[in-house]
Amino acid sequence: MPTNLFLIRHGETLSNIELIYQGQTGDSDLSELGVKEGQELARGLKNQKFDAIYSSTLKRSIRTAGFIADGHGLQVAQVPELKERYYGVFEGLRFEVIKQKYPELYETWLTHPDKAIIPKAETLEQLQKRGVAAVEKLLAEHTGGNICVVGHGAINRTILFHYMNLTLDNFWRIKQDNCCVNLIEIDKHPIVILLNSTWFLGEKRISRLSVY
């Protein structure tokens, strides 16, 4: 039997609204909308059997996972390796400030993300390595089962690229909206069944923020 990985992004945060790079140090709480998204997500997944529910150690991920866990009688297990990318000098800054302070670097980040060397930050390769290693460990513990992992925009992308056999220069080629669901079936060959799906919100909402 295949193993199913439900890879989810956290709900909207206060920093998302303010267009701030949260990374690891800006551990913003969910916004009012983010709470509603998490509740709708939980309702959308209420009939889906899960063997375990995991989150990163950042509160936006923990709280989102908690909505799902409450409906399944499960506890959220926190995995430090599922944390968002550490963005170095970008952390805690608004998009516009980064654009003004690091114009060339920011342009490279938007056009050639795999070549953008952000001072003091993890590289995308490092992020993908730890994210995939964490997920592979969880999959091995639940062979043939269904697991839910609530992560973050950047780390989710790199995990998806691994299973889709895409290079990291494709970073901006897919979206990860708040509370989106990705479903990957792991068997002889991984198959991405759902990508950035928010069916539980009804008519798709165009988020104020398509990244972070």
142 annotated active-site: no
72 annotated active-site: no
Instruction: Catalytic residue, from 10, 40, 91, 122: name it.
Output: 10
Q: Are 22 and 94 in contact (CB under 8 A)?
A: no
Instruction: Catalytic residue, from 12, 84, 91, 122: name it.
Output: 84
**Backbone torsion region of residue 23, taken as left when φ is above 0, otherwise alpha when ψ lies between -120 and 50, otherwise beta:** left
The C-alpha atoms of residue 127 and residue 158 are separated, in whole angstroms, by 7
For residues 116-137, one letter each, b for 16 or more C-beta atoms within 10 angstroms of the residue's C-beta and e for the rest, the string is: bebeebbebeebbebbbebbee
Task: Compute the chain's Rg from CA coordinates.
Answer: 16
E strands, 50-169, where?
A: 52-55, 76-78, 146-151
Strand arrangement, sheet containing 181-186: 76-78, 52-55, 146-151, 3-9, 181-186, 191-197
Tell me whether strands 52-55 and 146-151 are parallel, antiparallel or unpaired.
parallel
The C-alpha atoms of residue 61 and residue 152 are separated, in whole angstroms, by 7
Catalytic residues: 10, 84
